[in-house]
Each structure stands twice: as C-alpha cells, then as structure tokens.
Structure 1
C-alpha cells in the first residue's frame, strides 16, 4: 500500500500563508461588523421614526375627530366630512382609524341624501377594514337608495356573514328582497328574524306587508296587530294596517286606523284618508 505524504516544502508554504489569510479574514470580519452595526442603527432609527410618526398621526386623528364631531353637532356637515376625510389621509398607516373615519363620512353623506358619495366612502372604508359589518350594511343602504338592489343585497348578505346577530342588516335583506319582487325570500327572512328576535316590531310589520302584497291580507292582520302592540308610536304601522284592511274590504277597520294615526302624524293620516276615499269610489 502506498501512502502519500505532503513534502515539507509545501507544508512550509501553507504555514507561511496562514497569517496572510487570517489578517484578511480579520479585516473582513471587522468591516462586516461595522456594516451590520450601521444597519442595526438605521433599522432602530427607522423603527423609532415610524413609531413616532404613527403616534403623531394617532394624536392628529383624535384632534380631527373632535373637530368633526363638533362640526356635526353644529350642523356643519360639510366641515365634518372634510375632517373625517383628512383623518383617512393622516392615518393612512393606521387602517382601522382611517376606515372608521371614512365610515363616519359615509354616514353623513347618507343622512344628506348624497348616496353615491356615501357608497364611495363605505367602499373605501371596507377596503381598509374588510371585517366591518357596519360598513357593509351601510353600503347596502346607500346602494338601495340608488335602486341598485342586487348589489345592495350582496352587501347586506356580506354584513350578515360577518355578524349573524346584526339585526338591521338581516332586516334590510328582507326589505331588499321585497323591492326585487322576491316576496317568498322576504317572507323567509322576516319569519327567521321574528323567531330569533320576537320583540323586533319592524319584522312583524314588514312580514304583514309582504303577506298582503302576496294576496294574503287576512294572514297579515295578526302581524300588524303584533307590530303595533310592540311599538304603538310608529305611524307607519297604522298606515300599513289600514291598507291591509282595505284589501280585505274592511272599510270600518281602515278608518279606525286612520283616526289613531291622526294623533301621531296628521299629514300621513290625511294621505291615508285620500287612499280610503279612492277605495270607496
């Protein structure tokens, strides 16, 4: 068996080169350490600056929120909207804050009857906070006012998917099915709503209206009566009850509702009186 050894000369050469390699390595390690230290300093400074900016943005958002709320209380709705929209820009690094501000702006647009602007504000809010059931519901309300019922229904369904206990969104689903002429679906929604929330007066009234529209006015009467028993101060309940009575040919009962309605809303009672008169002819 042949064994191969390194000769002495090559070994000397290797030994002689070791200090040179070690020196280069030492210099490289030192440079690397300085570079890494510099990077860490920059990262820390950047993180500190980001944290400081976020804190400043949050403070400014709080200040502008107070400005918006005061403006809204004073009836300066346009100023309130500007403040909320400014918050969305200032707090762009805080999606939850920006989303809440846009939701508030959309709500004001909704009360002003500016439904297209309201829908846009709600969409922007949802982009920042996709889990907001309230923004989805309010988007549906704005789209409903724009008579974009299929899209409104999608928004209400999404709101319910996010929060199954959101009664308003579930009710709005029923209303939208009714507007789409899908009375069976509306009836289904109201029945489930009544089952889950037996004290929700609007569900009974809407159920009664849906039954009447379906040609089942007699079935509607107990639901009208239940709605009024739960909330005797809602004028629309008496008006709707009277219409169902007229559909059954019960003029006396309709006039009774009109008299009760006059105590709550004289203008609505006058309109109902006109409907009753036309029915008599």
Structure 2
C-alpha cells in the first residue's frame, strides 16, 4: 500500500478534537520553535498543520521559509506556490519566494517576486535590498544601486543595503563611492566580517594596501569557509612576536592561484631568521619544491613541531607590503625530462606559434558567473595564425559539444594527470590566454607571456586601470569595458594576436 503523503489531509484527531483546533495548537507550537531557532522541530509541526489543514497559509509559508533556510530552495518554492494561491496579496511571501528563486539562480523569477512584494508594500526595504542583489547577478548594477538607495531612504541605518550598495558600485568601478558605502556598513555593524572584507578588498584594489591588509584580516573569523583545519595550535604570528631562531608554520588558506602567487613570502620570512614550514595543497607540492630555505608539507599530512603559525595571506600585511616592495615571484619547478619528452610528442611538430587557452575556472568560485565564459563565446578570439592548445584538465559539460566542433583546438584533457603536466605543457607554449584562474598564476610564475582576461570589476590583485601587473612582469591584462561584455575584450585580443604573430 502506498504510504500517505505527510501533507495529506486527515480526519478528526486524538480524542475527536476537530482538525482546525488541532492545527491551531500545533501551529502555535511550531511558531515558538521557529522563533527559538529550532528549525527541525518547527518544520515537523508545520507539516502536521498542513496535513490537518492543507490551505493553512501561514504554515505553508513558514515551512517554505525553513526549507529555504535549510538549503532546500526548490521545495521551498513548491510550498510557497501553494500559499500564494491562497493569498496573492501578501508582500512577505513574494519576497521570500523571490529569495528561494535567487538561491536557485533563477534571478528573473526572483526579481519578479520582489517587484510584486514592492508593489504590495512600497515601504518594504528588505524587498528593495533583495531585488538589488538579484539585479547585481544580472549585471544590472545601476538599477541595483537605485534599489539599495531606496532601501536606505526607507531604513537609513540599513547595514545590508550599504554593504550591497558598495558591491554594486564596485562592479561599476566607482571605487571611491563603494569605499564610502563599505565604511558606512562597518560603522553600522563593526563586527561584520563581510563588511570589513569588502572594505579591505576595495582598498587593496585601489592600491591602498595598509588599510586593505588590515580589514582583510577579518576573513580569519571564517576559517572553516577558507578550508582550514582546526589543528593549528599555539600562538598566531602577528608581527609583534620574535621569530628569529624559532619555527613558524605558514599555511595556505585559499585557492591554488593564491598559493602560487603568495608562496614568494615564505623565503622572505626565512630571511628574518625563522625556520619556515609552508603547508600547501598536495597538488602544488612538486611545483614549489625549489622554494629556498623553506620546508614544504602537504595539507592534510602530519605537521612537524612549530612555535608559531600564520595564514599565508597575512604575511604581506606583517611585512608591510605596498606597491613599491612586492617580492619577486617564485619560479616553480620545471617538469622532468621524461615528462617534457612525453608532452613534446603529444603536442607534435611545431608548425605555428602555440597558444594555450583556458576560458573557465572553478565553477564553485563565488565570482565564477562573471569571470568565466563559455567556449562558444571565447571562440570569437580564434584565428588561423596560431595553434590552439586547451589547457583544461576538466571541460564543463556545457562546453564539450562546442569543443568537439572546434577542430582548431587541440584537447589534451584525458592526457593530463597532476599539476606538473600543466607545467610541461606551458613550457612548450609561446603564449597563454586565460581567464583569472590558477593557470594564469602558473604561467606567469614560469615567466611565460600571459594575457589575462578580466571581468569589469576584477579581483583586487589586478588593481584598476592598468594593463600590467606588479605581481608578474610577463602578464598583460585585458579588462571588460562594461560588466558582462566579453565581445569587445576578445576583439582586442584577436587584433593583438594577429599583430604579434603576423
């Protein structure tokens, strides 16, 4: 026999009590649990209410809210759809359903719901703020700023709106205004790691490194999100502690590209008289073996004894790094002879200049939606003057069919193993064209010419309004003229390619 749905209506309950009375009693219990943050208990009771009264608007609505809070936006939408059929003139449910659609990355539906909430309640500051966030995702930043301004006009001390407003202004490269907005957000919520982080990134992007490093230290309050393990014990080095003659563990904390870029600081700490242990991602271990005066260990392996520890990206702050004193890049290890010969055979006879390409990065990166592009879009840059080599070890499903059609691109995804295969490939290239990813850092650290394709509001390390990088002498930066527009950028790249290899 088929099990009854947990939302199926039932008859009179215990002791013959009418369903309506049972439902109301359970709803009050659910509401109390919900308000106390006991979400599992509240959801169970809301479900019982819905089973007794399938058209109980508040139970459907609040159960949907809990499902959204619990990371189940699709189920949240389903319940809220049922609630909206009961009452279409309830502003809050349109706002919450918009939030569920935003979690599903269905931003047009999210905006439609937020707009309905605003139409029903013109003073709904949260709906304006939420709509602004969805508009950012669609590169409609000027409209987003207008929504954040409206939210702030309604609620002058609206911390989230100031913080989000700063993000939208940054996307338009209006950095002075963005910085002011972030500063106001910090004033309103001095304990917000997000606001301090945003302010720090804005200052760093503007080349104002001292306050930038300082505010970016707030990331350390979210160490689990950075993938740290919790075994780091003892004293964290802040720069105040003496390190001469002591052992310090410097640990990587973010992506592969960050480690490649900032590993240059480990030898700088060794110059201060410390014995330096650098913990890195296992895949990078063979790449970084040449770091002078540094002992490497793989993340996840047993750590040797140490006196102090320090996150890798804190070291530039301690050493007072600014644009005038950035240490020289670390040149990574070369591929061994056997690997070089293997890749020479795979790449075949050189008949044209070889250009390695990467058009997308980590799909889970928070900024992937704006820094990666599809192969179909990237293919605009292809020309006949060069041999095109895909550097991708993993090609996204959405690009597979396009890659098969583009016969001018040689694909070696199946031949790649560890990161040293990427090194061996890059060693035999004349140029690398890539989006902002670890491959950009790898190629530039090797001294290869790298043309870096950047979104309109690029990561802080690429600064603003310049085509070179103080971190890598061999790198050339190409920036979008407007948010989301790769077409003009790729046309410039294509023109420069033809001029370079004519």
Q: TM-score, normalization: structure 2?
A: 0.40
Query: Higher RCO, 1 or 2 (CA under 8 Å, sep at least 6)?
Result: 2
2:24 to 45, 62, 70: 62
1:251 is the counterpart of 2:214: no
Deviation per CA, 1:243-271: give whole Å up to 9, x if none: 11122111112112124x26754557965
- Is the contact made by 1:242 and 1:255 (CA closer than 8 Å) also made in structure 2? yes
Deviation of 1:70 after TM superposition, in Å, equals 7.1
Task: Measure, in 2, the Cα distance between the counterparts of 1:274 and 1:170.
Answer: 39
The CA deviation at 1:165 is: 2.0
Distance 1:248 1:126, change over 3 A: same
Cα pair 2:67 2:75 within 8 Å, conserved: yes
**Larger strand proportion, structure 1 or 2?**
2
CA contact under 8 A between 1:233 and 1:264: conserved in structure 2? no
Q: Which residue of 2 aligns with 1:185?
A: 143
Q: In structure 1, how many angstroms separate the alpha carbons of the residues matched to 2:32 and 2:158?
A: 33
CA shift at 1:81, angstroms?
A: 3.3
1:144 aligned residue (81, 98, 102)? 102
| CA distances 1:129-185 after superposition (whole Å, capped 9, x unpaired) | 112211111111111000100001000111111122222111101001101110110
Q: Contact between 2:123 and 2:154, CA under 8 Å: does it hold in 1?
A: no
Using the TM superposition, give the Cα deviation of residue 225 of structure 1 relative to its aligned residue in structure 2, in angstroms.
1.0
- In structure 2, distance between residues paired with 1:145 and 1:127: 22
Higher alpha-carbon Rg:
1
Structure 1 partner of 2:47:
85
Tell me the matched-pair count. Answer: 221
Alignment correspondent of 2:329: none
Aligned to 2:121: 163
**Number of the residue aligned with 1:42:** none
Whether the aligned pair in 1 keeps the contact of 2:201 and 2:216 (CA below 8 Å) is no
Structure having the higher helix fraction is 1
1:71-106 CA deviation, whole Å, 9 max, x = no partner? Answer: 7669572x64353234234335xx5xx010101211
The normalised TM-score by structure 1 is 0.70
CA RMSD across the alignment = 2.9
Distance 2:197 2:117 in 1: 30
Q: Give the Cα separation in 1 of the matches to 2:213 and 2:124.
A: 37
Q: Which runs of 5+ in 2 are unaligned?
A: 1-16, 227-252, 259-310, 317-440, 442-460, 462-469, 472-502
